Amino acid sequence: MAVLNIPLTTAPKQVLTVQLEDSSYRLRIRWSTVMAAWYMDVSGIDGTALASGIRMVTAYPLPEGNLAGSGLWERGALMVVAQDGSFTEPTREGWGSTHHLLYIPKA
């Protein structure tokens, strides 16, 4: 599988289903005004919570939580990257223009 750019918008609350490797996952992305940061929850397509409250930081594989047992993190990682290669955090308006959420499969 090639690197996948997961399409996010600047909407403060987003829910999307993504196909990663051979499984589908539901991602819930939300902006915290208090923390001025984006957070993500990951669940199985059946609604089983796999990881909650993951702060979406730049240039660091997002923590796996309960996903370790799903096999996903053994095959790749979700990572926020800044388009300019910096380590800046994504802002409220940054998705798609300055920052991207990628699924990067292991070689």
What is the pTM for the complete model shown? Answer: 0.88
Measure the CA–CA gap between 29 and 53, rounded to whole angstroms.
9
Domain ranges of the chain: 4-105
**Averaged over 82-96, what is the pLDDT?**
93
Which 3-state string (H, E, C) describes 2-13? CCEEECCCCCCE
What percent of the chain lies above the pLDDT cut of 70? Answer: 88
pLDDT at 9 over 70: yes
The whole-number pLDDT of residue 62 equals 79
Measure the CA–CA gap between 50 and 70, rounded to whole angstroms.
8
Higher-confidence residue of 1 and 97: namely 97
The whole-number pLDDT of residue 77 equals 86
